[in-house]
Structure 1
Amino acid sequence: MERVVQFTGPRQVEVAEHTQASLPPGHLRVRTRFSGISAGTELTAYRGTNPYLTRTWDAEARIFRDGSAGIEYPVAGWGYSEVGEVTEVSPELVGTPGVPVLGDLVWGIWGHRSEGIVPADRMIGHTLPPGLEPLAGAFARVGAIAYNAVLASDIHVGEDVAVFGQGVIGLLTTRLAQLNGARVTAVDALDGRLETARKYGATHTLNARTDAVAERIREATDGLGADVAIEISGVYPALHEALRAVTVGGRVVASGFYQGDGTGLRLGDEFHHNRVQLVCSQIGGVPPQLAGRWTVDRLQQTFLKLVADGQVDVTSLVSHVVPVSDAADAYVLLDERPADALQVVLAF
């Protein structure tokens, strides 16, 4: 039997069992070892705020349309940060160059389920780098999200960059921005996360609840403001503060998944008067100016190489490894006590 984590309604989680499916041609069967829970995008489905629950995405027109829901409860296998072992290869694929073989550890997206049936062409290049522990493979996607935001920022050596939000993706963004030559100011509402941000390369830290963030950033930059701000928390007031914090003509990269109306975001203020560039970074694609050289797969592969080379530490970000049978408790933890957790991983 296959076990699948699913949301049966807002803040309702169950682990369902399904009969194991046969392997179709051109596919691999992967037994899941670990699956990371996204504390951002995934919680929108758990909480019931995800736009797909109330509207339909028209992929051709690339707009949401009212009137019907794109997805409905139960929402099954929502995860996107999996790592596992290849246990079956479709016979016609055996010996095909680049296709993982039996026993290989691979990373990819097949959701919070005990096994994935994945097209083989999506697994080419997805074998875990030698020497990398399996748990690290669960960071390929979240690392790519952070990497994409840094690429969209167009950071130059010596520039001042503020990173708003120091959850898992924010901390990885802080580290990657620092590796890219930036002086990083990390912003968050939790002091514990700010302490971790210092270990990940932040030169300065500011508490969003108690510090006048934009004012402090301008003071630290001789009144100019940051060259770039990356907003990765998905909170509208944080996006507004990021717009306040950058210099004239500065850039703000919005990489969070914002929900509902933009309460707290005032585009007639600093955004307008300082002619701020507001750029969206979303993992469905790379920055257009880099599309000739970069792909989402390259983002993921390069990030894992940085981890394997010791440039980025990911395993210390894992605060909880939870048996899949206790998945409901894992979501309650992330939803109700975010200060107590960073990366929560389901073990199968």
Structure 2
Amino acid sequence: MPHIVQFTSPGRVELVENDPAPLTGGSVRVATWYSGISAGTELTAFRGTNPYLTSTWDAERRLFVPGEPSFAYPVQGWGYSEVGQVVEVGDGVDSLAVGDIVHGIWGHRSDAVLPAAAVATRKLPADVDPVLGTFARVASIALNAVLAADVRLGEQVAIFGQGVIGLLATRLATLSGGRVLAVDTQASRLASATTFGAAETIDALRPGGAGELVRELTGGGADSAIELSGTDRALHEAVRSVVVEGLVAASGFYQGGAANLRLGEEFHHNRVRIVASQISGVPVALGGRWDQPRLVRTVMGLILSGAVDAGALVSDVVDAAEVADVFARLDAGDPGILQAVLRFDAAPERAR
């Protein structure tokens, strides 16, 4: 019987059985090998803070409004960083064959039936570590943030939050020619930021705030900043860190209010621009040339070539049955966990 990760209620997540989906024409069945956990997004489901769980998303008006939540517990199928092997091919499919290894988005589940077109361009070479495929989405989020911050050769960019996506953004901004100042509260993550190309590292908890030190180290302010921690305090410091009319890409998934974001201070007096970066769309100015498939192609090309060492970010590969323990550690802020990956039973022994 296939299994799927289920958020049963706030603070409770488990692996449960679910019925297999029927194979249809034009689709393939994939046996999941690995599924990466996106801590920021998925902790909102674990904690019950995601707005979809507390209000109604009016898709036509694009507003959250009071009413029945768009999603209610138990919630199944979250997760967007999967890798698996094609084990069955439906009628009319000639772009994939049994045995192909693909990456894509189908949630933390052991068995998935997908349109062949959704994964036909997402094959992984047989000679690479399949876990690398779990980084396609998170690396795309990082690249989207770098594009939103308009990082250019010779410019200085402060990146707040050096979790998985922040570290990927640090590497991608460095590859783009930017000089990165990495900000975080954890010394281990700042050390990783140096490895990923950061020219300077800054303790977010320093007296006076990180923004003040960024301004000192850059001789007047960073050209742009990327905020990926998802905290309003960090967003405020990002605003403080940039030059007059500087750009801040707000890329974190912020929850609740923003008492620490004081818009009457540096934001107002330095005429700072704040733009939202979210993976459902690319920056408007790039819309004619960039889209989500191009983001994926770009980051996977860099990862598979070794230009971005995504494998170094994997701290935990655990059996899917241990999902509750992983989320307990993430919820507690365990500094020893970075990228956690769930391993399903179909994963080959040589990769286990």
TM-score tier by shorter-chain length is: over 0.9
Q: Is the 8 A contact 1:129 1:304 kept in 2?
A: no
Q: CA deviation at 1:130?
A: 5.7
The residue that corresponds to 1:167 in the other structure is: 163
Residue number in structure 1 paired with 2:217: 220
SS for the counterpart of 1:184 is strand
Classify 1:129/1:61 alpha carbon distance in 2 versus 1 (closer, same or farther; 3 Å): farther
Q: Please say which of residues 273-282 and 54-63 is displaced more in the overlay.
A: 54-63
CA distance in 2, matches of 1:242, 1:19: 47
1:327 aligns with 2:323: yes
Give the drift of 1:176: 0.3
**Do the aligned partners of residues 129 and 268 (structure 1) sit closer, same or farther apart at CA in structure 2, a change above 3 Å counting?**
farther
TM-fit CA distance, 1:132: 2.6
Partner residue in 2 for 1:79: 79
Paired position in structure 1 for 2:27? 27
Shift of 1:21: 2.4
1:263 pairs with 2:224: no
Q: How does 1:1-348 map to 2 (within 5 A)?
A: 1-93=1-93, 95=94, 99-129=95-125, 131-211=127-207, 212-222=209-219, 224-348=220-344
Gapped runs of 5+ residues in structure 1? Answer: none
Q: Is the 8 A contact 1:35 1:82 kept in 2?
A: yes
Q: Deviations over 1:281-335 (max 9, x none)?
A: 1000111111111111110121011011111001111000010111100111111
Output the CA distance in 2 between the equivalents of 1:232 and 1:90. 40
Q: Is the 8 A contact 1:131 1:308 kept in 2?
A: no
| % same residue | 55
Give distance in 1, aligned partners of 2:246 and 2:127: 41
Shift of 1:15: 1.0
Task: Using structure 2 for the length normalisation, give the TM-score.
Answer: 0.95
Displacement after TM superposition at 1:131 (Å): 3.6
Give distance in 1, aligned partners of 2:212 and 2:65.
Answer: 40
Amino acid corresponding to residue 271 of structure 1 in structure 2: F
Q: Is 1:324–1:346's contact at 8 Å kept on the other side of the alignment?
A: yes
Deviation at 1:129, TM superposition (A): 4.3
Task: Check the 8 A contact 1:129/1:308 in 2, yes or no.
Answer: no
State which drifts further: 191-200 or 209-218.
Answer: 209-218
Change (3 A) 1:132 1:186: same
1: CA distance, partners of 2:53 / 2:26: 32
- The 2-side partners of 1:105 and 1:308 are apart by 14
User: Once the 2 structures are TM-superposed, how far is the Cα of residue 19 of structure 1 from its aligned partner?
Assistant: 2.6
CA contact (8 A) 2:181 2:199 kept: yes
Structure 1 CA distance for aligned equivalents of residues 145 and 125 of structure 2: 24
Q: CA deviation at 1:250?
A: 0.4
Please state whether the residue corresponding to 2:335 is helix, strand or coil: helix
Letter paired with 1:215: E
Amino acid aligned to 2:242: V
In the alignment, residue 53 of structure 1 is paired with which amino acid?
A: L
Secondary structure of 1:85's partner? strand
3-state SS of paired residue (1:166): coil
**Contact 1:32 1:115 (8 Å CA) reproduced:** yes
CA deviation string 1:21-42 (max 9, x = no partner): 2212221111000000011011
8 Å contact kept, 1:140–1:304: yes
Cα-Cα RMSD: 1.1
Counterpart-to-counterpart distance in 2, 1:304 and 1:288: 23
Runs of 4+, deviation exceeding 6 Å? none
Alpha-carbon displacement from aligned partner over 1:109-144 (angstroms, at most 9, x marks no partner): 100000111112211311124643100000000000
Structure 1 residues 183-217: Cα deviation after superposition (integer angstroms, max 9, x where no partner): 10000000110011000000000001125311211
1:41-64 superposed Cα distances (whole Å, 9 cap, x missing partner)? 111001100000011111121111
The one-letter code matched in structure 1 to 2:260 is G
SS of 2:92's partner is helix
